[in-house]
Amino acid sequence: MTTDTTERRKLTYEDYAQIPEDGCQHEIIDGGHYVNPAPNLYHQTVSRRLQFILYTQIEQQKLGVVFNAPCDVQIATHDILQPDLAVVLTENQHILRPEKIQGTPDLVVEILSLSSEARDRKLKRARYQKAGVPEYWIVDPFEHKVEQLVLRDGVYVLLPTTDVLQLTILEGVFVRLDEVW
């Protein structure tokens, strides 16, 4: 009887930076390499609308910056993700590097697509929770719903669903979902 004791080597940002450009979205999650094709146009429409709403209330008010994919977010040595949107508040901008966000954003938004739903809901959610991302939105463009998850005592808690999302990381910043769909 033989026992396989080989472990796969976990990839890092240095490995990630060597991936050739191919038009796909690449991520390193817990050291594993994941690839997605470009999202569909409705996904991109929802992303653009959310980004605009957040940009006007956060970035134009000089409260922080709003990034859209593709933007590398390295939350751990073996976790380099590309969320659809990421917000870094002014007081946390020390995590911004010329090539990536290196650290924990204040808000991460993932917009579901058929190829990424399971990964966004489970694998990436767990990584964001472990990294201490204070607020995580899972946007379902098919069902016109947003799951607003807020970190409490190290665990994500789902806030009640409403037609208007009030950010927990910034008072007075909100998203009317009828402007998104």
* DSSP H helix total and E strand total for the chain: 4, 13
pLDDT of residue 21: 87
3-state secondary structure of 153: coil
Mean pLDDT throughout 44-58?
97
Mean pLDDT throughout 154-172?
95
pTM exceeding 0.85: yes
Q: Give all domains of the chain, ordered by start, each with its CATH number.
A: 13-179 (3.90.1570.10)
Burial class (CB in 10 A: 0-12, 13-18, 19+), 114: exposed
Q: Is the pLDDT of residue 66 over 80?
A: yes
